[in-house]
Amino acid sequence: MLTKPIQEEEKQSQKDSTIGSYWITTFGCQMNKADSERMAGTLEKIGYSRAVDEFKADLVLYNTCTIRDSAQQKVYSFLGKQVKRKHNSPKLKLVVAGCLAQQEGESLLRRVPEIDLIMGPQHVNNLENLLSRVDSGNQVVATEETFISEDITNARRDSSICGWVNVIYGCNERCSYCVVPSVRGKEQSRYPYAIKNEIKTLAHNNFKEVTLLGQNIDAYGRDLPGLKKDGTKENTLTDLLYFIHDVEGIRRIRFATSHPRYFSKRLIKACYELDKVCEHFHIPFQSGNDEILRSMARGYSINKYKKIIENIRLLMPNASITADAIVAFPGETDQQYRDTLKLITEIGFDQVMTAAYSPRPNTPAAIWDNQIPEEVKKERLKEINELVDKTARKRNQRYLNNIESVLIEGLNPKNTSQMMGRTRTNRLTFVDIPKNNEFNYLIGEEHNIKITEARSFSLSGQIYN
């Protein structure tokens, strides 16, 4: 099934025949960003046009996150402003989607009775039907577990160069701190042909890069039928990479988020062999201490984790390794916390997304009595962020004076005398606009860039002919 992203003139004709304007605010992860693009596509298909301002829109949709309490509180503050608006303009439609909607369901209506539609992440493809029920005067809550049918929407993508492609929804793991399984449901893999079709469509529309998405992408295919002669699963992430690699026009393939428990040597070999697969691996380790990993129910040891990084660097020494880490997990002693710092120094990560443990509803660790005091959480977070910054800055010096291939994605919104893009290792790179001020032809293509400056989390450079 080939679907075509919406073209300018099509958007204009839609504008003339719109039923109103919409605004989507997305909180949280790449999965939510991809879901929001699909919901925007549906809204435009049924006749809405994009509003210029959140406070002028006829339909406001918050695609929410609940990974930490701060994310949850943020949604309520946004909702508060729209509720005031709704009291003056009752026609305003308020939609709350995503993980907080799934977690709270009906109780969100009791807290904010002005909401028209509450829909969990599994119902993204069902937005049109749900809105038609709202239009017939109902207040709708759609959070029942459901099979995610194949994607029928033509996503309204934020980028015209890099595209998100969902390959597996949900997660069957049971990490003791994580709310994802209870809000995104069981693993549901898309069929390889459907994924390839979507990538062909993107290539057909001049996209150059795709990022395959899954909460635990190494679980891809576990729920799909089919076994190889040796009894192993027919469809795995590695097989999928080989299967989609020949799509013409696509230059770069990325994937996230990996799980050390299932990260295989076969996958590393595939990433090394397949030219388009970029040398960037995002593999959350969460803690540098085995005892904490056991109480997190992560299912691997630090030695196993280190072995994975070693195997990657054996074949791809320059690959970038990024991760996630949680500090102040219940019961974490100062020594166990220092093990996390030690691992960061030992591995020399390109970047680590850090967070202090936040108790989440319906997760085992939230009710444990060995919670860490807030002030200790703050101290540990401050210290680990300083170390991550220092480590990344040191690691990034390897790019200095190098010629790197950078896919130029557009102008730097913060400094329009620069363009921005990323290296194959996913380093954000700012590129000076050539003296003749001609740059449009550079956007959407890979260019050799001489790196002149290396900071902790970004690079700068010039076009190198």
Q: Which residues bind ligand SF4 (CB under 6 A)?
A: 171, 173, 175, 178, 180-181, 215-216, 259
Rounded to a whole number of angstroms, the minimum distance from the CB of residue 351 to ligand SF4 is: 18
Q: In terms of CB distance, is 262 or 349 closer to ligand SF4? A: 262
Rounded to a whole number of angstroms, the minimum distance from the CB of residue 354 to ligand SF4 is: 15
**HSE value, Cβ hemisphere, 13 Å, CA-based, for 215:** 24
Instruction: Establish whether the linkage from the previous residue to 257 is cis, with ω within 30° of 0.
Output: yes
Rounded to a whole number of angstroms, the minimum distance from the CB of residue 172 to ligand SF4 is: 8
Q: Is the dihedral of CA 85, 88, 89, 95 positive or negative?
A: positive
Residues 26/33, Cβ–Cβ less than 8 Å: yes
Beta strand spans in 312-396 (E): 320-327, 351-356
Q: In terms of CB distance, is 175 or 381 closer to ligand SF4? A: 175
Q: In terms of CB distance, is 183 or 240 closer to ligand SF4? A: 183
Rounded to a whole number of angstroms, the minimum distance from the CB of residue 99 to ligand SF4 is: 11
Residues 27/71, Cβ–Cβ less than 8 Å: yes
Rounded to a whole number of angstroms, the minimum distance from the CB of residue 307 to ligand SF4 is: 19
Rounded to a whole number of angstroms, the minimum distance from the CB of residue 173 to ligand SF4 is: 4
**Spatial distance between the Cα atoms of 284 and 260, rounded to a whole number of angstroms:** 7
Rounded to a whole number of angstroms, the minimum distance from the CB of residue 409 to ligand SF4 is: 27
| CA distance readout (Å), 123 to 46, 67, 110, 197, 229 | 17, 19, 21, 22, 36
Q: In terms of CB distance, is 21 or 289 closer to ligand SF4? A: 289
**Spatial distance between the Cα atoms of 166 and 217, rounded to a whole number of angstroms:** 10
Rounded to a whole number of angstroms, the minimum distance from the CB of residue 112 to ligand SF4 is: 27
**Spatial distance between the Cα atoms of 407 and 210, rounded to a whole number of angstroms:** 12
Q: In terms of CB distance, is 208 or 360 closer to ligand SF4? A: 360
Contacts of 292 by beta carbon, 8 Å cutoff, 6+ apart:
329, 331, 332, 336
Q: In terms of CB distance, is 23 or 281 closer to ligand SF4? A: 281
Residue 383: what are its φ and ψ, rounded to 5°?
-65, -45
Q: In terms of CB distance, is 180 or 408 closer to ligand SF4? A: 180
State the chain's maximal CA–CA distance in angstroms: 65
Q: In terms of CB distance, is 163 or 181 closer to ligand SF4? A: 181
In three-state secondary structure terms, 327 is strand
Residues in the chain: 465
